[in-house]
Amino acid sequence: MYTTKAHKETYRFIPANPKPLNTAKVADLLDNEWLNFKLRTGISEKESYLASKVTPLGVASSFQHWAPYPISITSANGAWMQDVDGRKLLDLSMGFGAVLAGHLHPVVVNEIKESLNDGMLFVTPSPITRDAAERICTRFGIDMVRFTNSGTESTMYATRLAKVFTGKKAIVKIEGGYHGSFDPLMVSAKPTLKDAGDPTSPNSVSQAGTEPGTVFVVPYNNLDALEKVFREHASEIACFILEPVLENIAIVLPDEGYLEKVRELCDQYNIVLIFDEVKTGLTAGHQGAAQRLGIKPDLITIAKSIGGGVPVAAFGGKKEIMESITNGNMAHFGTFNGNPLAMAGIRAMDAIATKKNLEKAEKLNLQALTRITEIIEEYELPAHTVGFGVKGCVTWSTSPVRNYRDYKATDFQVAEFSWLWSLNRGIITPPGLDEQWLISLAHDQHEIDVLVENFQEMAVALRS
């Protein structure tokens, strides 16, 4: 096993002697798992059929759908969920990382119950909202913050703010990077390779129905490509937005020195650097990814893990940029912004997401990554493990994935098999092959053993 040169706060273990898989066999195994899936999920199928009559695809967000139908959940507690077919499932998705606390963590529940004694929505300033803003600024090391209701709103306002602050209009983003569904940020979120063009100078591929304006797309971990775009278009570019660690194409780590140089280039060309920490956030460590990785962006966007599972998000950063709101150059609105329920979630997470608690979860994550790497090694599987904070994944490639094109070259067939194998045996990872597992504050040794033993059984099946 060897580790590769990525940022020292991250994990990537590459086993030494991989052997190819028999793809025909994997196809057979996958077919068999889909048959198994249909046999175990009859009530989910019926539920999906009924829901799809009143809501497209039968889901509230297109991310929740997979063909032929997703499973339907009735309840969740701690690290476990129950589906409509009566199955108990180990949740390793944890609301795409939003439920870092674990489902129904008593501190979250209590804070919310307490806040309901005082009201649900004031749409006026309140000490509750001021207190939550102070907590966020202190924890994430930022001067000022504004609350929103979703990651999409946060990235929309952060990029708009950068435009107003700099007086420039263009955005630069990473190919394959997802930042919510605001028009310019959907550009090249997951383009087809046919549309994507040259890997070192990718096309900007828009989504149907969007009006993105000028968006330049660059490959992750490629400083030459970034500098070229900055040099040629500095007078147009307001901001560069990226996840410091990409967490929407499994987990893709920054090369050693990449983020440091990104910071330098943004300063050199007068471009606002935005770290989208909607997914990293507290899952990266108790002060978020930026501080963990030692790079200070100009603005951050946060959501998911900051609120204990309630819908709350925010954007914030340097005072001189946030003051574009103070001085009236940019307005920021939202009826539900800073509502007491959401602020209770923030307060609860501020109490629970301590360095000690997150280090314990990260230790369990590292144990899972290490044991799974040993299994990959033992069965000579063409895969490796990647992790950051309390998140981890198996990437079906024998070499490091450094950008979107590397990710597109990974083995999606066996990744799908691995996901479905787990689902059929009571372990739910996010719907889609782009995600990662999350070890929440509710997961413990037993849950890690379930994850690792399941992987071991799958390795046996793949090599039998």
Ligand X SMILES: Cc1ncc(COP(=O)(O)O)c(C=O)c1O
Which residues of this protein are in contact with ligand X, per CB under 6 A?
96, 150-152, 155, 178-180, 243, 248, 276, 278-279, 303, 313
Instruction: Give the span between the Cα atoms of 310 and 112, in whole angstroms.
Output: 9
198, 155 Cβ separation under 8 angstroms: no
Closer Cβ to ligand X, 284 or 348, answer by number:
284
Of 276 and 447, CB closest to ligand X = 276
Show Cβ contacts of residue 311 under 8 Å, excluding neighbours closer than 6 positions: 149, 150, 342
Amino acid at 88: K
Cβ closest to ligand X, residue 178 vs residue 421: 178
Q: Is 178 one of the annotated active-site residues of the chain?
A: yes
Instruction: Say if CB 147 and CB 306 are below 8 A apart.
Output: no
**Which residues, in sequence order, are CB contacts of 323 under 8 Å at separation 6+?**
144
Report the chain's C-alpha Rg in angstroms: 22
3-state SS, residue 112: helix
Catalytic entry in 276, 298, 406, 411: 276
Q: How crowded is residue 44: how many other Cβ atoms within 10 Å of its Cβ?
A: 20
Is-catalytic flag, 49? no
d(CA 257, CA 278): 22
Distance CA 238, CA 160 (A): 9
Q: Which of 11, 69, 157, 178 is catalytic?
A: 178
* Nearest position to ligand X, beta carbon: 151
| CB-nearer residue toward ligand X: 407 or 417 | 407
Q: Does residue 316 contact residue 142 with C-beta atoms inside 8 Å?
A: yes
| Nearest distance in Å: CB 96, ligand X | 6
304, 350, 404, 434: the catalytic one is: 304
d(CA 312, CA 303): 6
> Please, what is the minimum distance in Å from the beta carbon of residue 182 to ligand X?
9
From the CB of 274, what's the least distance to ligand X, in Å? 11
Q: How far apart are CA 440 and CA 450, in angstroms?
A: 15
User: Encoding tokens for residue 86?
Assistant: 């009566």
Q: Which is nearer to ligand X, 40 or 279 (CB)?
A: 279
User: Catalytic annotation on 269?
Assistant: no
Q: Catalytic site residues?
A: 178, 276, 304
